A and B are shown apart, each in its own frame.
Chain A
Amino acid sequence: MSIRALSFFRRYHIPTFIIALLLFGLVLMSLRVKQRPGVAFFDALFMELTSPVQKAATFVIKTIHGVFQHYVFLVHLEKENGLLKRRMAELQEENHQMKERVMANDRLLKLLQFREKMPASMIAAQVIGQDPTSWFKSVTINKGEGDGVQKGMAVISPEGVVGQIFKTSPHYATVLLMTDYNSAIDAIVQRTRAKAIVEGKEENRCQLKYLLRTEEVVVGDVVITSGLGGVFPKGLMVGEIRSVDKKGHGVFQYADLVPGVDLTKLEEVLILSASPPPPPQPEEKEKKAKKTSAGSPKKK
């Protein structure tokens, strides 16, 4: 029987190998769907081994790009210098006005006790690679579990929301960008306070879903995070509405959104290492108030 089985295997070893390999691929897919920890371990291991190649390539590309920018384009430097000086004067004026606004804003923020909602710390990371496929939108960064990065953490940049940590290894991580089809962010329209969900659509484009038809939103409206998802703190810039679609029937209208961050030119990002606390329930608020009123005389 065993000899027969052996001769069968010898005869059909290539079809057997093909079927086995494809089945293994399917099993791996199934394990990933179920999010088994063993697969995540192997993912992290291989990511750790291969990411330095990407890091080195990005370094070489950036160096070459830098050389070009610094030396080859010197020809246009004089013209550009004059232009920049004028622009700088304009920006200085703008800067003064902005500083005033920022200071006022800071005071208001303190008054409204919004600061407690901000995360404790941020981790700065560098983008070392983009998604190699065209179907999915992600970037690889040079910070991982060893630096305190964990799956699900919010990733932002000074211009606004970038995405979420999707995979991690000890020194590297993958960020799922907000433009990916799998991404969904709880948001509000800043002007009208209308609630909606921002979903990824295509390259540097998102879609505003579940926005009630009765809400009046217009092109140019700014969309910010609502803070309800528990991942992003409230008030972060998500993007700007570019078109509104009220055609068709139903309760909802749809809008196209351009992210506040140009995700195709992303170089550095910030990871919020502490997720914002959930919005306090009315009962908790009362308890807190009682505690503080009971605790304050003791301190005295």
Chain B
Amino acid sequence: MKRFLYPFFAGLLLLTFQATLLASLPVNRIRPDVVLILILFLGFSYPTVLGGLIAFSLGFLLDLFSGNAFGLYTFTRPLIFFVAQLFRSHFYWKGFSFQFLFVFIFALLEGGLILLLVSGLNPSPFRNLYSSVIIDLLPQSIVTGLITPILFPLFEKGSLFLVTKLRVAIKRQG
């Protein structure tokens, strides 16, 4: 249970951080998606079922506080997590360039998927939304990619702390 709750609360805090402090940045479009970074980190370090559930719950929360009526992130976030898991055994994910590129590409992919879903679910197409790919999505994905090398080690430390705590608890129980 703790293995679910700790990352979930970390995600909730990051979501709050994203919706409050990061939203007060002078340029809103460079606000990084810190929750996406956490989900991609979980894709590398967490088991499928547990990580999938966390990604699903965080996607649900993201939908709750955003102005989208369809619940797009409840679908895209677990999908992103599962796709990220496919790469876990094929790449060395601790290098700066890989972390940046990996998150940058995934942020762009998710943006594309959301655009596709919004266009598909709405009867009238939003032409204004397409301009957002260059105006909003690209800078945001770059910034998200750039802060990944700072956040990934932090998440790793947190994850190690959690594992050692669980091991100690298991040893005590015998």
**Which residues of A come within 8 Å of B, CB atoms?**
14, 17-18, 21-22, 24-26, 28-29, 32-33, 39, 43, 46-47, 50, 53-54, 57-58, 61, 128-138, 140, 166-167, 174, 176-177, 180-182, 199-203, 207, 264
**A21–B65 CB distance below 8 A:** no
- How many Å lie between the Cα of A28 and that of B71 in the bound state? 7
Given contacts A17-B48, A17-B52, A134-B28, 8 further A-B contacts (CB under 8 A): A25-B71, A29-B121, A53-B13, A130-B20, A132-B65, A135-B114, A135-B132, A140-B65
**B33–A29 CB distance below 8 A:** no
Query: B106 in the interface, Cβ–Cβ < 8 Å?
Result: no
Contact residues in A for B132 (Cβ distance below 8 Å): 134-135, 202
**A264–B28 CB distance below 8 A:** yes
Given A33-B121, A54-B16, A130-B20, A207-B67 contact (CB < 8 Å): no
Contact string, B13-34, partner A, CB cutoff 8 A, digits 1/0?
Answer: 1011111110110001101010
**A32–B23 CB distance below 8 A:** no
19 A–B contacts, CB within 8 A, in A order: A21-B52, A24-B56, A25-B79, A32-B70, A33-B121, A57-B16, A57-B17, A130-B23, A130-B28, A133-B62, A133-B66, A135-B111, A135-B136, A136-B66, A182-B69, A199-B128, A201-B128, A202-B136, A203-B28
Contact residues in A for B117 (Cβ distance below 8 Å): 29
**A29–B137 CB distance below 8 A:** no
Query: B7 in the interface, Cβ–Cβ < 8 Å?
Result: no
**B17–A18 CB distance below 8 A:** no
CB-nearest residue of chain A relative to B31? A134
**A177–B67 CB distance below 8 A:** yes
Partner of A131, one of B16, B66, B126, B131: B66
CB-nearest residue of chain B relative to A23? B75
Contact residues in A for B33 (Cβ distance below 8 Å): 133-134
Given A181-B126, A202-B135, A61-B24 contact (CB < 8 Å): yes
- Which of A43, A47, A134, A176: most chain B CB closer than 10 A? A134
Contact residues in B for A133 (Cβ distance below 8 Å): 33, 62, 66, 68, 73
Contact string, B60-100, partner A, CB cutoff 8 A, digits 1/0?
Answer: 11101111111111110011001000000000000000000
**A25–B59 CB distance below 8 A:** yes
| Distance to closest chain B CB from A278 (angstroms) | 25
- How many Å lie between the Cα of A218 and that of B56 in the bound state? 48
Given A17-B48, A22-B75, A25-B78, A137-B18 contact (CB < 8 Å): no
- How many Å lie between the Cα of A196 and that of B67 in the bound state? 24
- How many Å lie between the Cα of A32 and that of B117 in the bound state? 14
| Distance to closest chain B CB from A17 (angstroms) | 5
- Which of A47, A131, A180: most chain B CB closer than 10 A? A131
**B79–A132 CB distance below 8 A:** no
Query: B162 in the interface, Cβ–Cβ < 8 Å?
Result: no
Query: B42 in the interface, Cβ–Cβ < 8 Å?
Result: no
Given A22-B78, A201-B128, A203-B29, A32-B71 contact (CB < 8 Å): yes
**A18–B16 CB distance below 8 A:** no
Contact residues in A for B137 (Cβ distance below 8 Å): 134
**A134–B140 CB distance below 8 A:** yes
Query: B105 in the interface, Cβ–Cβ < 8 Å?
Result: no
Contact residues in B for A17 (Cβ distance below 8 Å): 48-49, 52
**B48–A132 CB distance below 8 A:** no
CB-nearest residue of chain A relative to B13? A53
- How many Å lie between the Cα of A174 and that of B61 in the bound state? 13
CB-nearest residue of chain B relative to A15? B48
